Each structure stands twice: as C-alpha cells, then as structure tokens.
Chain A
C-alpha cells in the first residue's frame, strides 16, 4: 500500500481542512524554508517537494493555502498506528516508512471472496479516513511496491509468469534503488527496467553494485525478501463483572481498588508508568461512566492511583446499579529504572515523587485548570516578567533559551505585585524633590524614604505604552511600597500620573 500524500493527508485531517485547500509541509534546508511534502492540490498547481516555500506560495492562492512544518517522526508514529489499525484486514503487515505499508494477504482473499474485493474494501475504508492510497497485489514484495507506485491500474493480481513483462516498462526508480544509482543509470540512458534486463548482469554489478541486482531479483521473485511485521501490544486493562447490578459503594470501591492494583502490576511488568488512566463503571441503565485520572509523572503505584480515583468514584452517579468495573491505562510512559533495596521500608520517596503526588492529588481534587505554577519570563515590564502555566507534567525540561529572570537574582522586586496598578496621588514639597506624601484610596501616608527612579520603558513592539519611573518608598508606618509615575515618551512633560504597583511584605 502506497500512501502518496501521507504527510499532507495527516495535516488535512488534523486541521480539518476541506479538500480544496493546498497543504504545504515545510522543512529547513540549508537555511532556507523548502517544501518537504505537499498535497495533491499543490502538486497539480506545479509545486514539487524541494522547491522553496516562497516559490511554492507564489503558485497557490494565498487564502487557501495551509503551511505547517513537516514532522517526520510524528508522521512515522502515525504510520505505525495506521498500520495497527489495518490489522483488521490482514493479520501480518509491516510499515515501510515514510509512505507505505506491506500487507501480507496470503490466504486472506478467501475470507473476502477474492483479492479484488479485499483491495476494494481496503481502499474504500482508507478513503473514508481521507487518505490517498495506491494499492497493488503481486507475488513479490518488490513487484507490489513497484506497481503500487508506478503501475497504471489501481490493483493487479499477478501470475508470476507475467511479472517480468509487467515490470519491464516501469521506470528504474520502481526498484527501490538509491538516487545516486538512479542518476548513474539515467546518465547512460537507462530509464526503464526493460533496459536493465537487456544488459549483462556482470557489467551491471561492476558499475552499480550488488544492490541493484538484488533489488531486481527481489522484484522478479528470484531472491527472497522478508518483512518485520508490527505486532500490536495488548492493552493494559483489568475488568471485573458483578453477578448483578450493585449500588453498594463499598463493593464498587473495593473492586475498583483491586483493579487498579492489577493494572499497576501489569504496568510494572512492562516497566511502564501510567499517565492517563480510565476507570469505567458499567452502569445497568445508563451509559458507561468513564472516570479519567491524570498523573504529573508516570506511575505504577496502585495505591497512588487509587488515591486519585477515589474521590471520583465516591461522587459518581451510579444510577440503578453497576454491573462491572474496568480499569485501563490510556497513556503510558517508560519508567526510569530504580535500584531496589532489600527492605522496602528503606526506600524513600524522592522530592519529585512527593511533589508529583501532591500535584496529582490537587489536580484530582480541583481540576487541571486550577493547579498552576509561576514561570519566569524575560521582560523588563514587571507585570510581564512571569506567567502562570498549567502543571501538566513536572518532569519536563526547562524551556530552551531561557535564563533565570533577574527579578529573582538581581533587582529588588516587591514580594506582592498587585494584579493591576492602583491610581494614587503624590505630593512633593519641592519640585523635582523627593516624594512627601502619597494618597492611596483616601488613605494619606507620609513618606519618609524613597529610592529611585528606576526607569522602565514600555515594550514598543507590543504597541504604544508609556515609560514608568518606579520608586521604592517607605511610609511613616513602616510599609514598603512600590510606586511609579508614568512618563510621556519624547520627554513631553504631561501631567504626571502616579500608581502603586506592589508592596514588600
């Protein structure tokens, strides 16, 4: 099975584009953005992989063109998953990255009433997924590969005897040989397999190596070739059905807990930890209720999983009763290996473990959007110098290119930053002198000391904003406040406005 536009088909599916959109997948080639892969629409417009993105864009209508970077690894992963999905048609298959699958249909045609019908069914099914295919059946892997890509018909059922005459008119690229060899063959005018068949084998081997002959033989069935089939792994799942519907929470909890321990054991055997776990309650009169638990670090600790799942089970709506419970690990990650000690009690949880559990517990209780942490941002502007981010995982590496914010190391910054600066009034005894008095919300404070100004200009690339002069001031009552005055750019002395922005606690 040849997937001519695999990468762009995936992009179309992912972005839910309609079929008239041109899809370009870019990659960086010698410091310039080039087309790595593109869809059929773009191909028809004259785009071909390898041309610069700018050139390709010029050939396509700007508002109906979708561009995204080419993700080679992601596409290969998707190809594996797609392969696993295709197991519904044939039992043995292998991936042929970047854009093909090998399907071993030996013996399957009887189940479908003929090879043609099998191919038809596969084609229809894949087409519904929005993926373009070229399918061919042949007695050898090499011939099937060649015909799927370069043959004329959609599918051919071949007799080994006519194999040679079918392959002869195909271009030499159909032999899966590297581009250098192809180019060398083209140089002497050899364009098609037919031309190769006319030449002495020894001369060919001298010039182009054994690979060429091997590929030729493999296609013609004169040499063996094997594939490495993919084998889907069994899902990690544990299930228990009751004798009849039950609404006894204790029973359900007991069973659920036991299932989680079983899942944990299965995970441990595979040296995996669970990132997303689904606990399904099969309710007698309602749809199955799926409770999802996420963890910040992969874990195979059944107790911990239960801690997270328990509040959900407790508050679950059971209807007339539950007939069974199923636990399944939906997303997994590899666990780092840890040295076990002889006595279990000696093992101490690492700080990350503990933090991970705390985060998991908080997330389980409060929801994913409510557990946040502060990340520093490089910006002179105080309100932009940090941001809140969701705690999806605590293992992730620090973002590349960031350096610790000096607000943490260098400049003196208040411990409390107001979410929004408050308008205040300032009084001076002499012009251009120190601040004498601040009026904050009708509360007048005498100022006994002030440090500043620290001038911070706006981030002009985000739009116009005014410069600020910050002062650290101490009030008579001992409070340390962070106040600023807005300064007009271009030194125009407009009426000054004062704000309070934070406080040292």
Chain B
C-alpha cells in the first residue's frame, strides 16, 4: 500500500531534549516524519516542552503538523507515564502550569508529579496512557480512574511493538484491556531517533546516562534498532490486526490540531503605564521630558524631526510598552546609582538617548532608525542593557519584585555538547581510559574534520585507522550539538502581562532565588516574545568606581554623558596603543591595530571596536579598509545605493547591518530575507551549513542587477565571514562610548583609573600586576598593602605629585572580607597598631587572616619584614578565643619582638616570588631582573630595546626573555600563537608559528618564564618577534605563579 493511503501520525516521540535518552534533534524528527509522509508528528519529551519550539519551526518549514505534547511521568501513587496533548490554548496553559508545579517542587532538572496533579489539570488535554511492563489490576484501576476524568473520549491506551518474543501476546493483552475498560487502543512506535543508524548513538547516550561503558551496559541498552520513525505503511503492516489503533492516531492528531504554538500571543506588562494614560502617550511625555534634559539649550530641528519620526514608527508598531519596560529598569538603576548603558539594535535611537537608556548622542552616529526597527520584521526591537557586574543582582531582584515570579523569569540557555565534552563522554562510554580521553579532548581540533587530526592521533601513539577509535570519533561528531542540560541565560528576562507559567513551563535554577523558563533566546525569538537582556559589564563597575574616586579626591564629578568629548590628548594616547586596562581596545590584536588605524574621532572608535573581530578578518576587510583610510587605494562605489550603505566605512562592509543592507540593495533581498540571512549567520556555529543556502540567491541576485561576478563573490565571502562573529554597528557604537570614557579616565586620572580597575577585578584582559606596572609607568606612585594604611579596596592617597595608589587588602590572596574589615576597624578605632599581637587583640582577628596578611608583607609599618611577621603569626593559634587572649596581657609571644632571633636571611628573588604568590605582584623588583646578569651574559636583550628602531631594525636576530602574560591562539590565525612577554623594562610581543610551537611545546605551552630567540618584524610602530626557538627558565626559588591568560 503506498504511504499516502495509510494515514498515520506518530504520537510517542522522545527527542534529545529528554537529555541523554533521545538520539535525534526535534527538527530532524519533524523533517523526517514529513519525508515519510506522516499525517502529523508529536514531540513528547519527558516532563518538558524545551524542544517544542524548534520542532514547531522545523515542522512549519517541512509542512507537517506538529502536535504539541509531553510525556508526563507520574511518581505517585505508582510510577506511570502518560502522554498528553493540549487541544486548545487554555489546555496548553494548564499543561504548562502542571509542569511548572512539578518542577518548582523538585530540584533543578527534575519534576515531581502525582496522579491527582494530572487530574486537576486534565481539562482540554488528550491523554495516552503507556502500559507498564507487567499489566496488573493496579494499572487497570488507574486506567479506569483516568477514564472517568478524561471524559469525551479523550483517553487512549498506547500499544507499541517491542520486538520481543511475546509481542503478539502483549498486543492481544493490551487490546483486551482496551476492550474491557472501553479505552481505545492507539498505535505508537515509541520513537527515540529518526533513522535506525542513530541506534549506536542512542546506546552511547544510555551509557553516558548510567555512567557505565558500552561493555558494562548490558540490558540497559535496547536489543535492537527499531525505535526509529517508520513509514505509515510499515506501521499499518505491524498493526494489521488492529487497524483501529492506526486510525486512532489520526483522530488524536486531528483533535490536537486545535492548538498550535502560533496561537501564543505575547502581551506586554501594563504596570509600566500610569493609570489613565496609554503607553504611547506616556512614552511621548517621557521622551520630551528627557529631551529637555539632554538638550538644555533647546532641541534642534534636526533632532526634533528625528524624535518625531521614531515615535511615529514606535506607535505604528505598538512598541511603546517595550521602550517603557526598558526605561523603567534604567530609571531604577539610576535611582540606585548603578551605572548602566543600553546597546543593541534599537538602543542608539534618539528616543533612547532622551530616555537615558543610552549615552550615545544620535547626533554623533549616523543612525537610521529603520535599520534597527523595520516594519517588515514584526518582532520586538532588541535592546540589551549592561549594568555594573557587581550590582546586576539588584536589578534582577527588582524585576522579580515588580512583576512577581509568576510573570518574570530568566530565559534558559541550552548547554550543548561541544567538541571536547562530546569526545570526553563518548570516549568514556566506549571504554577508553580517562587518560586517553583527556589527551584526545585536549589535542584534537574538534570543530572540523581537519587532516591535522590524523597527524595528532599518530603523535599520541594511536592508530587513526583503528575501527574502535574511528567509531569513537564519528559518534563524538554526531553527538556535537546535542543538548546536554538547560542552564540559565546570563540575563535574558521574559516579562508578561498574564502568568508566565501559562505560556511556558518554569523551573528552578541552580542558583537560589532564580527561576528559569524552558526556552532559550532563539525559541523566544521564534515566537516573537519580549525579552530584556540585563547583562553584567565589569567596565561599568570600574567607571563608576573611578568617577567616585575622582569625585572624592579631586572634587570633580562626571557622568558618562558629561565626560569632555573628542579630547585630542585621549586620542593621542589611543594612537600610541597605550591602552592597558581600558575597555575593548586593550587586547593584543586591538593594540596592534591602533597605530595603524589611528582613531581621531568617536566614529573611528566604533570602527576600531568592530574591525578587530573574526568576521571582518576572515572576510578580508581589514586591509582594504586600512589602505583606503591611508589613501593608498581609491574608494570606488559600484552604485550610489551601495555608496549609501558603505559610505561610512569607505566602501568596505564592516558591520552586520551593512551586510544585510547590501543583500537588500545589491541582490534584491526583501528585508525579511535579509533577516533570515542574519539568522543563518548567527546560527553558523550550530549548524554550519545554513549560510550556503543563500549563496546562490545572493550571487544570482547581484549578477541580475548588473554587478560583476567578481564583486558578487567578494560580497558573499565578506558576508559569510560575518557568520557567528559579525559585530553589529549598534553594539559597537555603545561599546565605543565606554571605550572613550575609559580611555579618557586613564589619560587624565591614571591613578584613580588603575585603582578602580583593580577594585573591579576580576575583569578584562590584564592582571593587577600589569595594571599596576602600567600605572607606575605613567608616573603614579604605588604603595604596598599595609595593615595600618590599607582599606579593603585600593585607595588613593594624596602626595605632592598627585594621588598615589595604596593597594587594598582585596589583593591579599584568600583573605576574607570580614577579617580584613576587622583589621580596618581596629586601626580606625584604636589608631595605628604597633605589634601583631596588639592588632589581634584589638580587632579579634583570626590568626589565619593575620597569616595571610603576613604572607602579603603587610606589616611593614610595624617594622616587620615578611619573615618576622610570619614568625610572629605562627605563634598564634586559631583555636584560641581572642577573649582570653585579651586577658593574658603577657601574651604567648615567647619569641617576642625584642628577642634576638637568628632566622636565616631570605634572598631578594625569593621575596619577590613570595610577593607574587601572596598579592599577585611585587613592588620590589621584577622577577626577571634577578636573572638579568645571566641573561645578559648569553646575549639576551631587554625588551625595551625593541622600541628603538635604530638598534633593532627589521630582520635583526634577537633573544628576549620575560614572564608570559598572554598566550592566544585566535581562530582566524591558522594555528599561530601570540604570546606576550614582560621583563623589567617592558613587553615583547611574540608570534609563534605552529611548527615552532609544536617543537618547543613544553616551554611554549607551560613555562611561566621563557627565553625566546627570533627575528624582528616591524610594521610602523608595531614590533613583533617571530619566534624561532623557545626555552623555559623557571628558576628554582624564584617561581612566579601562572599569571598568563591562556587561549581565551
């Protein structure tokens, strides 16, 4: 019988969102069911709807009906699985409520539901009961009970071929039960994967779930590969004796068609609008009020026209509530003194500037609001708000407080298997030793099938043709991209007017006080729901702290908007790449670009932020841009439309928006198609291939419009280069503002900036040691941690030559804040402490805290060296109640201060090494300086010599040494590793080719101090040493802790 003549719908499908059980993606299942000619397909994951949106999108594309469903596992009174399918919007809401109920009362990732819970939410749901292995009277009672609840013929009894010996009997038995209870029987195939070839992967998943190897798994594995989607004709053959069971599937599918995810209508919350006014009126009022504040000398006609235009567009699209929601969060943050800054598509509008969402003056960037909100794309505009990272939690709790936990929740983030995690889990399941699995995970490049892997396998002593190993590799590759668990998105909030739990199930997050919905941002996007991203940004914390320090010590108060704009001194500093610690343009790659790009205005910074990204680099846009900027290449535009798109960036597309506009202008894409292109670019990492769907269309479109094939290919290369890494202009504009602010602070208030930067750690690219060193080079005095002078944070102390930085106790490794505060409190109350014992008595400080302070050499003001201080502290016991310490005035201090002690002397390099271990830096000397004599003796140059072109011209052979600060292997540099070395005179930038890296792997990968021999390369002010050999010089007794940021 041809497939089309046997209508069948698969109703029991476990996708890989039932983690470590299903072995196919929801979209694979939906697409394959469509190919096989199923009438419909349900996705019924265990106690979750997490994969349903993806299935919905895929089903729509392949033109098959998706039945929204879920396999509800009841644990009381007896374990029982029931498949449920909502028939209308209300029933779907009840299903979400049911799952939320079960999840909220269980731990993260679990769900506890009882039979009576299901009964309470049964209205409007179709149910299919899955019979247990042994059908007994208890089960029949449950079935009869459910039958009374699921009235109106809504209950069915599932029957599946198990391919065991007694299949026929079992089907008979189920049929008999169905007859006896008057619950119709329905055929399913209990699908776990879309094609039988996935059985191996499913077996491996079972092993991962049970934590066993494939050899040990035994009966936990399925005996056969029959749990795949079968053609309707085959299902009809298998249930030839029960045709009504096949017909029942279609009946259920038809009734379940009453609900589709398309019916979910998102509704904005309404409390952001005061009573008696509409959101739009309120927004207009707020905008003009804000405009008056932003433009104290009156709003220019230009700006007025812009604002009016934007407001009209917002009104047309009814986005006013969205802007009001964002504005409300910003207003809250400002009222608490939390620094924040909006970015993203809609953020850089005049309206947002007036509302205080962004500090980017629309006059300074050429914003076309339609680029960010288009009428064709009927989806909410995108605004992310960055808050100070240390205070973001306050904002999050404000959202929960304002809208309630039933209406606001974080979106989920689907954590998927990536190369390393996949090979780890598959390798373990396949019985490889932990050791080998580790090696494979570390050594191999899992992102692509590159031939390098074969070489690497050989170098590990493995045979790449070994069938077992080949199987492991192919299974790991299949597993990549599978969801592993749900986590919470960093800050994406969904806020609704009606209870959220009627829209999507909510579960507890791993973190206390957090609730998370089951869908991730793509799902939310696909359904057109509002999401506000509240992200944490360390630089905002730093800038706020810096403002506070400047205010406190110099009496000048600034905000992001009042920092003097376009300051030439600041740009001079940027052009010299003197940007350690500032926002974004501090990385090695950015710093080598700065002298070439020479930014002189705000928009140059926008470009600088966006250009050093894998997208523009892979699309080969950097060099053409630089050539044109330096007038070495003429700027030509193929057509005036293209000039309009690319004019700002000298004809080279640098931003994601430009890529999209280019597709519209040059290839005749509709804005909707351009948006699909954008999605394909974003999904690059996940699927990898999608972008090529657009290749033909784009190139044909461009040829049809009279462009040359060469130009068309070039544009496509550029666009595909953006995939996954493209940087939108809207984000770059917001970032550039912070770049400028941080640079300005660094230029004009270096001490405050360095102190604020350290007080906001951990963040950014550099360790405190480098920040302090940089501050010292800018003439800032830095004073060590001291119990009598330091606060918890780094502070500024006035001196004749401007403020000096006093390092704070937060630098002391492992010191708890409460203990530090006791010390600070004791000093504040009783004045300067003169001995360790008195400090301990006055402040009730724990001996362990004093020990940490002693290790940090923080007793200098008492005249104690680190060694003496430690000796004193070692006599104190933590167990002693300080109360009795106070009574015992004589103290336990036998080895007291005035005893003549003959402690061995400690060499200076050891002191420095101890400084590094305890505080992360040393103000005494640079570790390399102790080796300098030996290094000089073998002809090793100081790094400072590199800046002197006369001494070290291009091509000179040179040897340099230093502590490794950074190791980077950018994905765009074909395996080249960039390393930065620091010695007492400066830094040296190394370029290490893969062959050299492999040859000197041990030193190159692990050593903390190295000597590198190589040739000098110069390009303008940028100096590199092209490494030829690398040698570790980790001297005993002078070890420094690992301080480099490796491969991030």
**A378 and B218 in contact, given A62-B461, A63-B461, A452-B165 (Cβ under 8 angstroms):** yes
**A199 and B224 in contact, given A188-B871, A411-B164, A453-B163 (Cβ under 8 angstroms):** no
Q: Collect the chain B residues with CB atoms within 8 Å of residue A187's CB.
A: 855, 870, 874
**A189 and B903 in contact, given A379-B218, A460-B200 (Cβ under 8 angstroms):** yes
Shortest CB–CB separation between residue B866 and chain A, in angstroms? Answer: 9
Contact B435 A54 (CB under 8 A): yes
Residue B223 interfacial (CB < 8 Å):
yes
Q: Collect the chain A residues with CB atoms within 8 Å of residue B448's CB.
A: none
The interface bits of chain A over 25-59 (1 if a CB of B lies within 8 angstroms of the residue's CB, else 0) are 01000001100000000000000000011100111
> Which among B165, B225, B855 is the interface contact of A411 at CB below 8 angstroms?
B165
> Which among A189, A463, A490 is the interface contact of B905 at CB below 8 angstroms?
A189
Residue A454 interfacial (CB < 8 Å):
yes
Contact A207 B875 (CB under 8 A): yes
Residue A444 interfacial (CB < 8 Å):
no
Residue A73 interfacial (CB < 8 Å):
no
Q: Collect the chain A residues with CB atoms within 8 Å of residue B471's CB.
A: 461
> Which among A54, A188, A452 is the interface contact of B903 at CB below 8 angstroms?
A188
The interface bits of chain A over 450-461 (1 if a CB of B lies within 8 angstroms of the residue's CB, else 0) are 011111110011
Contact A401 B216 (CB under 8 A): yes
Kindly specify which of A190-198, A285-293, A296-304, A343-351 makes contact with the partner chain. Answer: A190-198
Contact A54 B442 (CB under 8 A): yes
Residue A380 interfacial (CB < 8 Å):
yes
Contact A455 B903 (CB under 8 A): no
With A and B bound together, what is the CA distance between A457 and B163 in angstroms? 11
**A380 and B221 in contact, given A195-B904, A454-B164 (Cβ under 8 angstroms):** yes
Shortest CB–CB separation between residue A202 and chain B, in angstroms? Answer: 5
Q: Collect the chain A residues with CB atoms within 8 Å of residue B904's CB.
A: 189-192, 195
With A and B bound together, what is the CA distance between A451 and B165 in angstroms? 7
Kindly specify which of B768-776, B878-886, B892-900 makes contact with the partner chain. Answer: B892-900
Contact B197 A195 (CB under 8 A): no
The interface bits of chain A over 422-462 (1 if a CB of B lies within 8 angstroms of the residue's CB, else 0) are 00000000001000000000000000000111111100110
Shortest CB–CB separation between residue A382 and chain B, in angstroms? Answer: 11
Shortest CB–CB separation between residue B417 and chain A, in angstroms? Answer: 19
Q: Collect the chain B residues with CB atoms within 8 Å of residue A207's CB.
A: 871, 874-875, 895
> Which among A33, A453, A461, A489 is the interface contact of B214 at CB below 8 angstroms?
A461
Residue B75 interfacial (CB < 8 Å):
no
Residue B467 interfacial (CB < 8 Å):
yes
Contact A467 B165 (CB under 8 A): no
Q: Collect the chain A residues with CB atoms within 8 Å of residue B200's CB.
A: 460-461
Contact B435 A206 (CB under 8 A): no
Residue B464 interfacial (CB < 8 Å):
no
Contact B892 A491 (CB under 8 A): no
> Which among A206, A403, A470 is the interface contact of B894 at CB below 8 angstroms?
A206
Residue A472 interfacial (CB < 8 Å):
yes
Residue B196 interfacial (CB < 8 Å):
yes
> Which among B167, B225, B435, B910 is the interface contact of A489 at CB below 8 angstroms?
B225
The interface bits of chain B over 434-446 (1 if a CB of A lies within 8 angstroms of the residue's CB, else 0) are 1100110010000
Residue B219 interfacial (CB < 8 Å):
yes
Shortest CB–CB separation between residue A370 and chain B, in angstroms? Answer: 28
Q: Collect the chain B residues with CB atoms within 8 Å of residue A401's CB.
A: 212, 216
With A and B bound together, what is the CA distance between A191 and B221 in angstroms? 59
Q: Please name the residue on chain B nearest to A198 by beta carbon.
A: B902
Q: Please name the residue on chain A nearest to B234 by beta carbon.
A: A491
Q: Collect the chain A residues with CB atoms within 8 Å of residue B196's CB.
A: 489-491
Q: Collect the chain B residues with CB atoms within 8 Å of residue A59's CB.
A: 1002
> Which among A58, A406, A455 is the interface contact of B226 at CB below 8 angstroms?
A455
Q: Collect the chain A residues with CB atoms within 8 Å of residue B887's CB.
A: none
Residue A20 interfacial (CB < 8 Å):
no
Tell me how many residues of A have a C-beta within 8 Å of chain B: 55
Residue A315 interfacial (CB < 8 Å):
no
With A and B bound together, what is the CA distance between A470 and B167 in angstroms? 12
**A461 and B197 in contact, given A187-B870, A379-B218 (Cβ under 8 angstroms):** no
The interface bits of chain A over 461-497 (1 if a CB of B lies within 8 angstroms of the residue's CB, else 0) are 1010001001010000000000000000111000000
Shortest CB–CB separation between residue B600 and chain A, in angstroms? Answer: 49
Q: Collect the chain B residues with CB atoms within 8 Å of residue A398's CB.
A: none
Q: Collect the chain B residues with CB atoms within 8 Å of residue A454's CB.
A: 163-165, 167, 223
Q: Collect the chain A residues with CB atoms within 8 Å of residue B892's CB.
A: 206
Q: Collect the chain A residues with CB atoms within 8 Å of residue B1002's CB.
A: 58-59
Residue B950 interfacial (CB < 8 Å):
no
Q: Collect the chain B residues with CB atoms within 8 Å of residue A491's CB.
A: 196
Taking each of B237, B434, B901, which has the highest tally of chain A beta carbons within 10 Å of its own beta carbon?
B434
With A and B bound together, what is the CA distance between A214 and B200 in angstroms? 64
Within 8 A of A (CB), among B397-435: 430, 433-435
Residue B166 interfacial (CB < 8 Å):
yes
Q: Collect the chain B residues with CB atoms within 8 Å of residue A208's CB.
A: 874
Q: Collect the chain B residues with CB atoms within 8 Å of residue A380's CB.
A: 219, 221, 223
> Which among B168, B215, B894, B910 is the interface contact of A203 at CB below 8 angstroms?
B894
Q: Please name the residue on chain A nearest to B430 by beta carbon.
A: A461
Residue A243 interfacial (CB < 8 Å):
no
Contact A203 B855 (CB under 8 A): no
**A378 and B224 in contact, given A199-B901, A470-B165 (Cβ under 8 angstroms):** no
With A and B bound together, what is the CA distance between A2 and B936 in angstroms? 43
With A and B bound together, what is the CA distance between A35 and B84 in angstroms? 53
The interface bits of chain A over 360-393 (1 if a CB of B lies within 8 angstroms of the residue's CB, else 0) are 0000000000000000011110000000000000
Q: Collect the chain B residues with CB atoms within 8 Å of residue A202's CB.
A: 894-895
Contact A190 B903 (CB under 8 A): yes
Contact A188 B216 (CB under 8 A): no
Q: Collect the chain B residues with CB atoms within 8 Å of residue A54's CB.
A: 435, 438-439, 442
Shortest CB–CB separation between residue B86 and chain A, in angstroms? Answer: 35
Q: Collect the chain B residues with CB atoms within 8 Å of residue A191's CB.
A: 904
Residue A184 interfacial (CB < 8 Å):
yes
Taking each of A188, A451, A490, which has the highest tally of chain B beta carbons within 10 Å of its own beta carbon?
A188
Taking each of A53, A58, A380, A470, which has the highest tally of chain B beta carbons within 10 Å of its own beta carbon?
A58
Shortest CB–CB separation between residue B999 and chain A, in angstroms? Answer: 14
Q: Collect the chain B residues with CB atoms within 8 Å of residue A250's CB.
A: none
Contact B223 A455 (CB under 8 A): yes
Taking each of B197, B471, B874, B875, which has the highest tally of chain A beta carbons within 10 Å of its own beta carbon?
B874
**A189 and B901 in contact, given A206-B892, A451-B166 (Cβ under 8 angstroms):** no
Q: Please name the residue on chain A nearest to B877 by beta carbon.
A: A206
With A and B bound together, what is the CA distance between A361 and B433 in angstroms? 42
Taking each of B467, B901, B904, B905, which has the highest tally of chain A beta carbons within 10 Å of its own beta carbon?
B904
Contact A203 B895 (CB under 8 A): yes
Contact A456 B874 (CB under 8 A): no
With A and B bound together, what is the CA distance between A467 and B442 in angstroms? 37
A and B contact pairs by CB, cutoff 8 A, 27 listed: A33-B433, A53-B435, A53-B438, A54-B435, A54-B438, A54-B442, A57-B435, A187-B855, A189-B905, A190-B903, A192-B904, A195-B904, A199-B901, A203-B901, A379-B218, A380-B219, A403-B219, A405-B219, A411-B165, A412-B166, A454-B163, A456-B223, A461-B203, A461-B214, A461-B430, A463-B467, A470-B165
Report the 7 A-B pairs with minimum CB-CB distance, sorted nearest first: A378-B218, A62-B461, A203-B895, A455-B163, A380-B223, A207-B874, A455-B224
Give me 4 other A-B pairs in contact (C-beta within 8 A), A53-B435, A467-B224, A491-B196 excluded: A32-B434, A378-B219, A401-B212, A460-B199
Q: Which residues of B contact A (CB under 8 A)?
A: 163-168, 196-197, 199-200, 203, 212, 214-219, 221-226, 237, 430, 433-435, 438-439, 442, 460-461, 467-468, 471, 855, 867, 870-871, 874-875, 892, 894-895, 899, 901-906, 910, 1001-1002
Q: Which residues of A contact B (CB under 8 A)?
A: 26, 32-33, 52-54, 57-59, 62-63, 67, 184, 187-192, 195, 198-200, 202-203, 206-208, 377-380, 401, 403, 405-406, 411-412, 432, 451-457, 460-461, 463, 467, 470, 472, 489-491
